[in-house]
């Protein structure tokens, strides 16, 4: 495995302050390695989008990062803590080093400006010394990169289809050749055919440009196919993390297993599926112990009392971690 | 009056039938259009025919913009249709509102995609369900009857104990519970047909199956005919007995769900099944994604749909005839009831085109078009299902 590019250590995000605060993300440790696709899956309300906004410091109030560190490792130079950057440093860091593709491309593009204006704006803001001709050439190149004809630069967003708009967003995210691209449900609003086209293109681009992707979605079946490693979030915590293949074939946490059994398979034998009983936890009144225990079919004594720590399971697979009493951590960290 | 637990009619009886259903939406005219003969229309749905049977789920699969939701609204008679017919128990129906619309709605109920929008936020669950029961005459005579009917309804959608949910407001319920209330409201009419327009797309993955299993259970217990509209072909395989694939307002393939999903015949259905996320294809580098790359392009404009087969501009096997003639439903011999609207399954057409040029990729899971297989000399299995 290559060196890390983004390390999240003990990140905590609250909505509100004091006793009223809703703890949306709790003590999350996550490492994104250079050039890998890390999938982050979970139900709505599990804190996956909050985590993404927290680590890029895009949280709108009343969201507050109440603890932890986000260490970014530039290609050359010492590591920096994103959470302690000054506004001026942050402005340089954002988009040039980390960019985000949001869920609704329909809403992320300005409807009254041409695609060209919006793309050129990004480049001009970060490379003020470039000439207009160079910027235009770069914008054309970016569109070609994501498979859109360069003459589309003169279109307004409403003249593009949903898939094209999402591709323009991806082009924009890649404009400054960032090391990390965070994708928050980038294809949820799209059809499966378009989704596959875009993901295929993204995989190709990653191969060529070597950026790392934090891919956030609730569609685990998509992640298994597309990402290198997968982390599962539940109730604001990471509960399991493993290479995609291992996670799919041999899920340790009962929640992961439940998620995997929530998708009807297109191939293979037809089986009775159950889903996960119950509903996601209320973040204002989290269950004691393991947050999943009220819905867990395998819950036993310690589950409702003590929180299981996240760590490598006892039976010696160092590249994965799980937080479940069924698989106690061998050597607590 | 209590709701009937199971209808007396046998399963498999056709309840609602669409025959050549067509819907064109007018487009705002510009000045220059005034001089043209034909007004511009969006061909949202063209010539759609299928039957909903008692105790069976029929899935309608397609991309957004394929016209599948328009079909649901046509079946619910929320839109007047441009052409074609709807037959309820064999009798043609055309209702425009008023008493006849209510009588129709009593038998055909629609469940919408977004339970966050389809329940009124200022009213309780009790209000929603009572209204449905009252309007359709199932509320009984006394307050006790009503209370019992309400408890019955909630029990049917597994929201128990009823007291906990009856006086709750929609915002107090989770998405899955809200969708269950929406289903209970539809059941309040004691319908024979449920039209479910993407009933689980807005729900979290972990609770989707719960709602699908509930619908399945209701189908079995109440002997309902269900139209399940979805863009997720894998869930159609799981949930539906019969699957129909729509593309750009037309039906392109149909048959029992297992056949359509496992042995897709129409090139578009193949594209759809190849594009669906499949964890079995663990690659981690998106190599699987590149495979379906041949499905480039986008659905056509429905104002000027392509002549002939509407899929031909994107089709890897397009022949000359595809660009001019509309393919009829051609039966495919692998399973009874399997058909595709594709010229590949018409031996005469394939023979007329350059031989071999239309050969699909060698994929053992897909039955070869008959013209390319050993049946080349046979008579054309042409059957126009109109």
Backbone torsions φ then ψ of B272, nearest 5 degrees: -65, -45
Q: Is the separation of the CB atoms in A223 and A244 below 8 Å?
A: yes
Q: What whole-number distance in Å separates Cα of residue B165 and Cα of residue B320?
A: 60
- Using CA atoms, how far residue A208 sits from A169, A203, B284, in Å, is 18, 9, 15
**B177 in reach of chain A (CB within 8 A):** yes
For B292, the closest of A196, A220, A270 (CB atoms) is A196
CA dist., res. B48 & res. B69, Å (int):
13
Cross-chain CB nearest to A276 (options B64, B177, B206): B206
A196 CB neighbours in chain B (<8 A) are 274-275, 289, 292, 295
Burial of B365 from C-beta contacts in 10 A (0-12 / 13-18 / 19+): exposed
- What values do phi and psi take at B277, rounded to 5? -60, 135
A37 and B CB contact within 8 Å: yes
From chain A residues 261-290, the ones with a CB under 8 A of any chain B CB are: 262-268, 270, 273-277, 279-280
User: What is the pLDDT at residue A38?
Assistant: 93
Q: Does B286 touch chain A (CB under 8 A)?
A: yes
Mean pLDDT by 10 residues, chain B (386 residues): 47 88 84 68 91 94 86 91 91 83 92 88 94 90 92 90 89 88 93 92 82 91 93 89 93 93 92 82 48 62 87 88 90 87 85 54 44 38 36
Q: Cβ separation of A259 and B206 shorter than 8 Å?
A: yes
Distance from CA of B284 to the nearest CA of A (A): 5
Q: Residue B85 in 3-state DSSP?
A: strand
List strands edge to edge, sheet with B339-340.
B108-111, B193-197, B225-230, B57-61, B242-247, B250-256, B339-340, B330-331
The phi, psi pair for B84, rounded to 5°, reads 95, -175
Q: Are the beta carbons of B177 and A279 separated by less than 8 Å?
A: yes
Of B207, B212, B176, nearest in space to B196 by CA = B212
Residues of chain A with pLDDT under 70: 1, 105-106, 315-316, 330-333
Asked if B261 and A276 come within 8 Å (Cβ–Cβ), the reply is no
Tell me if the bond preceding A83 is cis, omega within 30° of 0.
no
Tell me whether residues A280 and B174 touch, CB distance under 8 A: yes
| C-alpha span between A319 and A317 (Å, rounded) | 6
| Residue length of chain A | 333
Burial class (CB in 10 A: 0-12, 13-18, 19+), A114: middle
A-interface mutation test, from B282, B297, B365, most A Cβ less than 10 A away: B282
Please report residues of A whose CB lies closer than 8 A to that of B293: 197, 200
B59 touches chain A (CB under 8 A): no
Identify all chain A residues contacting B261, using CB atoms and an 8 Å cutoff.
Answer: 266
Q: Do B298 and A270 touch (CB under 8 A)?
A: no
pTM over 0.95? The answer is: no
pLDDT at A2: 73
Instruction: Tell me how crowded residue B130 is: count the other CB atoms within 10 A of its CB.
Output: 21
In sequence order, the 6+-apart residues with CB closer than 8 A to the CB of B47 are: B20, B21, B22, B84, B250, B251
Rounded CA separation B95/B104 (Å): 8
Q: Cβ of B202 under 8 Å from any chain A Cβ? A: no
Q: Which of B177, B234, B275 minimises the CB distance to A196? A: B275
Measured distance CA(B311)–CA(B308) in Å, rounded: 9
A267 and B275: CB-CB below 8 Å? no
Burial A284-300 (b: 16+ CB within 10 A, else e): eeeeebbbbbbbbeebe
Q: Determine if residue B102 is left, alpha or beta; phi over 0 gives left, psi from -120 to 50 gives alpha, anything else beta.
A: alpha
Residue B282 CA to residue B280 CA, distance in Å, equals 6
Place of tokens 């993390």: A241
- CA B328 to chain CA centroid, Å, is 20
| Rg of chain B (C-alpha set) | 23
Among the partner-chain residues A202, A224, A260, the one whose CB lies closest to the CB of B286 is A202
pLDDT of residue B56: 93
DSSP three-state, residue A129: coil
Full set of structural domains in chain B with CATH: 14-27+39-240 (3.40.50.300), 246-280+287-377 (3.40.50.300)
Reading the block at residue B367, the tokens are 């039955």
Question: Residue A73: CB partners within 8 Å, gap ≥ 6?
Answer: A3, A4, A5, A6, A7, A79
Q: What local confidence, expressed as pLDDT, does residue A77 receive?
A: 81
β partners of residue B18? B50, B86
Is residue A244 within 8 angstroms of chain B, CB to CB?
A: yes
Q: Which CATH number is associated with domain A1-97+182-273?
A: 3.40.50.300
Reported ipTM: 0.78
In chain B, positions 288-317, which contact chain A (CB-CB < 8 Å)? 288-290, 292-293, 295-296, 298
Q: Using one digit for the tens of pLDDT, what is the confidence trace for A14-51?
A: 988 877 888 889 899 999 999 899 999 988 878 888 89
State whether A226 and B293 contact (CB < 8 Å): no
Closest CB from A199, A259, A280 relative to B289: A199
Q: For B296, which of A197, A225, A276 is closest by C-beta distance?
A: A197
DSSP A120: H
Query: Residue B147: its pLDDT value, please?
Result: 92
Which helix (DSSP H) or strand (DSSP E) does residue A10 occupy?
A: strand A4-15
Cα nearest neighbour of B257 on chain A: A266
Rounded CA separation B211/B317 (Å):
39
**Measured between beta carbons, which residues in chain A are less than 8 angstroms from residue B363?**
none
Angle of helix A162-173 versus helix A115-126 axis, rounded to 10: 10
Pairs of CB atoms within 8 A across A/B: 145
The span from the CA of A187 to the CA of A205, in Å, is 16
Residue B282 to residue A161, Cβ atoms within 8 A: no
CA distance A265 to B46: 31
Q: Please check whether residue A191 touches B, CB under 8 A.
A: yes
Chain A residues touching residue B296 (CB < 8 angstroms): 197
Q: How far apart are CA B375 and CA B293, in angstroms?
A: 31
Domain boundaries for CATH 3.40.50.300 within chain A? 1-97+182-273
Token pair 């079919």 is found at A297
CA distance B85 to A81: 66
- Integer Cα distance of B248 and B45 in angstroms: 8
- The residues in B 13-42 lying below 8 A from A, measured between CB atoms, are none
Contact B235 A264 (CB under 8 A): yes
Q: What is the rounded CA–CA span in Å between residue B314 and residue B319?
A: 12
* CB burial of residue B228 (10 Å; 0-12, 13-18, 19+): buried
Rounded Cα distance, A218 and A221, in Å: 9
Q: A221, B278: Cβ pair inside 8 Å?
A: yes
């Amino acid at each position: 495995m290559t060196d890390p590019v983004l390390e999240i250590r003990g990140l905590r995000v609250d909505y509100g302050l004091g006793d009223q605060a809703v703890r949306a993300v709790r003590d999350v440790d996550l490492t994104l390695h250079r050039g890998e696709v890390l999938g982050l899956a979970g139900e709505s309300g599990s804190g996956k989008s909050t985590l993404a906004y927290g680590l890029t410091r895009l949280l709108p109030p009343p969201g507050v990062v109440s603890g932890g560190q986000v260490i970014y490792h530039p290609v050359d130079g010492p590591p920096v803590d994103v959470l302690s950057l000054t506004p001026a440093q942050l402005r340089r860091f954002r988009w040039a080093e980390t960019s985000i593709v949001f869920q609704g491309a329909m809403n992320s593009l300005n409807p009254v400006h041409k695609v060209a204006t919006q793309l050129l704006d990004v480049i001009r803001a970060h490379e003020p010394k470039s000439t207009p001709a160079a910027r235009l050439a770069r914008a054309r190149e970016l569109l070609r990169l994501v498979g859109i004809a360069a003459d589309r630069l003169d279109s307004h967003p409403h003249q593009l289809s949903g898939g094209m708009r999402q591709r323009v967003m991806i082009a924009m995210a890649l404009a400054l050749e960032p090391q990390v691209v965070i994708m928050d449900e980038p294809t949820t609003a799209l059809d499966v055919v378009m989704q596959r086209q875009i993901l295929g293109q993204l995989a190709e681009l990653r191969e060529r440009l070597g950026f790392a992707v934090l891919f956030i979605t609730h569609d685990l079946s998509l992640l298994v196919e597309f990402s290198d490693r997968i982390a599962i979030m539940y109730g604001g915590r990471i509960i399991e993390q493993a290479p995609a293949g291992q996670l799919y074939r041999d899920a340790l946490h009962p929640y992961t297993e439940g998620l995997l059994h929530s998708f009807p398979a297109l191939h293979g034998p037809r089986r009775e599926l159950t889903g996960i009983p119950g509903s996601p936890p209320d973040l204002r009144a989290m269950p004691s112990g393991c947050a999943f225990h009220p819905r867990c079919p395998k819950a036993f004594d310690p589950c409702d009392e003590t929180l299981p720590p996240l760590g490598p399971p006892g039976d010696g697979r160092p590249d994965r971690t799980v937080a479940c009493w069924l698989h106690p951590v061998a050597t607590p960290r | 009056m209590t709701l009937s637990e199971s209808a007396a009619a046998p399963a498999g009886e056709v309840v609602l039938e669409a025959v050549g259903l067509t819907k064109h939406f007018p487009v705002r005219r510009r000045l220059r259009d005034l001089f043209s003969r034909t007004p511009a229309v969006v061909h949202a749905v063209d010539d759609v025919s299928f039957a909903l049977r008692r105790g069976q789920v029929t899935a309608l699969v397609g991309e957004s913009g394929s016209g599948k939701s328009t079909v649901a609204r046509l079946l619910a008679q929320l839109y007047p249709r441009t052409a074609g017919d709807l037959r309820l128990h064999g009798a043609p129906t055309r209702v425009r509102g008023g008493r006849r619309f209510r009588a129709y709605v009593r038998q055909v109920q629609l469940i919408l995609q977004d339970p966050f929008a389809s329940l009124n936020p200022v009213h309780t669950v009790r209000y929603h369900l009572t209204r449905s029961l009252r309007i359709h005459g199932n509320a009984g005579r006394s307050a006790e009857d009503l209370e019992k009917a309400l408890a019955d309804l909630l029990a049917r959608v597994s929201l128990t104990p009823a007291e906990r949910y009856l006086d709750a407001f929609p915002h107090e319920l989770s998405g899955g519970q809200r969708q269950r209330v929406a289903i209970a409201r539809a059941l309040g009419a004691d319908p024979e047909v449920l039209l479910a327009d993407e009933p689980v797309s807005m729900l979290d993955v972990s609770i989707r199956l719960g709602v699908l299993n509930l619908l399945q259970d209701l189908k079995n217990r109440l002997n309902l005919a269900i139209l399940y509209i979805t863009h997720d072909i894998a869930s159609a395989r799981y949930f539906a007995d019969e699957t129909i694939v729509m593309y750009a307002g037309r039906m392109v393939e149909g048959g029992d769900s297992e056949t359509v999903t496992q042995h897709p015949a129409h090139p578009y259905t193949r594209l759809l099944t190849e594009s669906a996320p499949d964890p079995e294809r663990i690659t981690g580098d998106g190599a699987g994604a590149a495979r379906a790359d041949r499905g480039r392009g986008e659905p056509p404009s429905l104002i000027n749909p392509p002549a002939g087969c509407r899929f031909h501009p994107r089709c890897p096997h397009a022949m000359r005839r595809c660009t001019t003639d509309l393919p009829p439903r051609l039966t495919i011999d692998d399973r009874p009831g399997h058909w595709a609207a594709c010229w590949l399954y018409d031996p005469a057409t394939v023979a007329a085109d350059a031989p071999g040029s239309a050969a699909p990729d060698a994929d053992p899971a897909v039955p070869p078009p008959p013209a390319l297989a050993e049946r080349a000399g046979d008579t054309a299995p042409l059957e126009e299902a109109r």
